Chain A
């Protein structure tokens, strides 16, 4: 498999007042196309920082991050937002839907800013909402949906553009067991069916059980990178 994401000696330091916090230290890592990988570790281990850097939301203090062979941090603001729009899908812990848009419109949002025609958007979004089990709930606003349903809308929004990679930051943290299982089924299915790469940050055992690769971090350093036996 090809490497879709490549981190070369990446470090990230946050400056909090006079204190420097080392979030990641000299991390080298490759994520391959089609991976269903989880980054695990205790709070403060650098999981979210890693996802933010890979997602072009933040800049490393040193090192290089390549997405599909392109060095992210040689790109300008506009080019980075284009990369996020076209090549990366995001699923956040707190669902993060746009409150004034319906489920359909939230899923449609990225396609709309891509400038895709309305007919195309409708076809893709309806198919994707059906895929994540939200058929019939298209017209509901986020506050009319349960947590699990909102997270499924977020997944639909992340997937509908057929991105190279979906970055999911603690996607099941706010969900009950049934919703979490259902969501993981959907994501696993999308990974297998469409070949979309998933990279989770999590310490949820349910996610770790499903992941085919587990990268463990501690204090900003990688302590292990294991391929799950069931998928080995």
Chain B
């Protein structure tokens, strides 16, 4: 009977209930959109960063990340990658050689990052440079004498497809060695520092130049289906394949600038969300308080005929919750097409964002989309329903304190 009464009371003033439910729904829409967009941009940033070379989890020689160079290496044979791939959630485990070097032509030389990758094991979706190729094609074999360079570097060194460049590195013995490769593809990520300072070589070719063994690599880049599992996976892998001289780290440790930027951004989002929640709670509180004051006489009657203060308290609290739930239903109706649009198409802000805008060398996607994780939805629902209850507490308390005689004098 309590729920029946609460529901009917809600619709005694249809317009007011609809307006306050709509306010709740708009608040929810804003909260969901903010959270969904921020989740999408964080995931996108982390995944882009992972596909730039280090993965969501990196297996590397101890001390490599503090001073990445070709003087540190690990054995990354098939047995190692098979054991990594056996870990749940791992979608790829790819050995790589990454270190600093000089890249030059007859007329000019620049410093940059030299990356040895295995074209047979790198899926374009896991490698941002392969995805960003705008001219040419990826080298055909792990031992080919070919190189993929960035658009900016091609401009700076005046290189074109088919032209040769010379790269110089310090090999395993500490000797400076050089080799030549022919440009087979040019990529453009949009970030000038990346496009002007990165080249990709076939891994076996680089191994030969560096005098590495056939299974040697400076790291194994581990990619996951869900980046949120990175920390747990890194812990599991540490147990499974950890050995003296081998470290396993997750992206927050290998990319602290990105982790910091995400933490900061999340904190701001939470602040904005708190304001939205406050407005939603105020809306519910206002409606419920008004409703209690209007029905004082009726509540006095209920007390007079034996209703307990607790039953009145619960009645008003239920009304508050039902107002919120009505808002939730409206929010679902509003959000469903919006969510579909934002996950499939998104809003393209290319004209408003400078080209190549990025954080710590990771290009930020100018198309805003949404991703909602199950835990985010649960968090929104728990926060929302808790607020609805909290907002209803004061009006419910007022209702439970209605003095029967004074209230009924209004008859």
List B93-151 residues whose CB lies under 8 Å from chain A.
none
Do A113 and B411 have beta carbons less than 8 Å apart?
no
Summarize B's interface: helix, strand, loop or mixed.
Answer: helix
Chain B neighbourhood of A114, CB < 8 A: 306
Q: Which residues 1-55 of B sit at the A interface, judged by CB distance below 8 A?
A: 1, 4-5, 8-9, 12
How many residues does chain B have at the interface if contact means C-beta atoms less than 8 Å apart? 22
In the complex, are the beta carbons of A57 and B304 less than 8 A apart? yes
- Contact A109–B305 (Cβ < 8 Å): yes
Determine which of B1, B4, B305, B310 lies in contact with A84 in the assembled complex, contact meaning CB atoms within 8 Å.
B305
Inter-chain contacts of A98 with B (CB < 8 A)? 5, 298, 301-302
Interface string of A98-117 (1 = CB under 8 A from B): 11110001001110111000
Give the interface SS of chain A, mostly helix, strand, loop or mixed: helix
The reply to whether the CB of B264 lies closer than 8 angstroms to some CB of chain A is no
- Binary contact track A131-174/B, C-beta < 8 Å → 1, others 0: 00000000000000000000000000110000000000000000
- Indicate if the CB atoms of B308 and A100 lie closer than 8 Å: no
- With A78-B309, A109-B305, A113-B311 already in contact, the answer to whether A99 and B298 are too (CB < 8 A) is yes
Q: How far is the CB of A193 from chain B (nearest CB, A)?
A: 22
Q: Which B residues are in CB contact (< 8 Å) with A86?
A: 306
Of A77, A81, A109, A110, chain B has the most CB atoms within 10 Å of the CB of A81
Q: Which residue from A52, A58, A85, A94 sits with its C-beta under 8 Å from B305? A: A85
A128 to chain B, nearest CB (A): 15
Please report the C-alpha to C-alpha distance between residue A96 and residue B407 in the assembled complex, in whole angstroms.
12
| A142-B366 Cα distance, complex, nearest whole Å | 61
Query: Cβ of B301 and Cβ of A96 under 8 Å apart?
Result: yes
Cross-chain contact B306 with A81 (CB below 8 angstroms): yes
Q: Can you name the residue of chain A whose Cβ is closest to the Cβ of B312?
A: A81
What is the CB-to-nearest-CB distance from B252 to chain A, in angstroms, rounded to a whole number?
55
- Are A78 and B304 within 8 A (Cβ)? no
Interface flag for A93 (CB, 8 Å)? yes
The reply to whether B411 and A92 form a contact with Cβ atoms under 8 Å apart is yes
Query: What interface size band does chain A fall in?
Result: 20 to 34
Given contacts A92-B411, A96-B411, A100-B5, A58 and B308 within 8 Å (CB-CB)? no
A206 / chain B contacts, CB cutoff of 8 Å: none
| In contact, A82 and B306 (Cβ under 8 angstroms) | yes
Complexed CA–CA distance, A113 and B12 (Å): 22
Pairwise interchain contact B411-A84, C-beta atoms closer than 8 A? no
Q: Which of B303, B311, B404 is most buried by chain A, counting CB atoms within 10 A of its CB? A: B404
Contact between B5 and A93, CB atoms less than 8 A apart: no
Within 8 A of A (CB), among B276-324: 298, 301-311
- Residues of chain B lying within 8 A (CB to CB) of residue A108: 1
How far is it, in angstroms, between the C-alpha of A100 and the C-alpha of B307 when the chains are bound? Answer: 16
Q: How far is the CA of A105 from the CA of B1 in the complex (A)?
A: 9
Q: Provide the residues of chain B in CB contact with A157, threshold 8 Å.
A: 305
Could you tell me which A residues sit within 8 Å of B by CB distance?
52, 55, 57-58, 77-78, 81-82, 84-86, 88, 90, 92-94, 96, 98-101, 105, 108-110, 112-114, 157-158
- Mind listing 21 A-B residue pairs with CB under 8 Å? A52-B405, A58-B405, A78-B308, A78-B310, A81-B306, A84-B304, A84-B305, A85-B307, A88-B306, A90-B305, A92-B408, A92-B411, A96-B411, A98-B301, A100-B5, A100-B12, A105-B4, A109-B1, A112-B1, A114-B306, A157-B305
Interface residues of B (CB under 8 A from A): 1, 4-5, 8-9, 12, 298, 301-311, 404-405, 408, 411
Known: A57-B408, A100-B5, A108-B1. 13 other contacts (CB 8 A): A77-B309, A81-B303, A81-B308, A81-B309, A84-B305, A85-B305, A86-B306, A90-B304, A96-B411, A101-B5, A101-B8, A109-B305, A158-B305
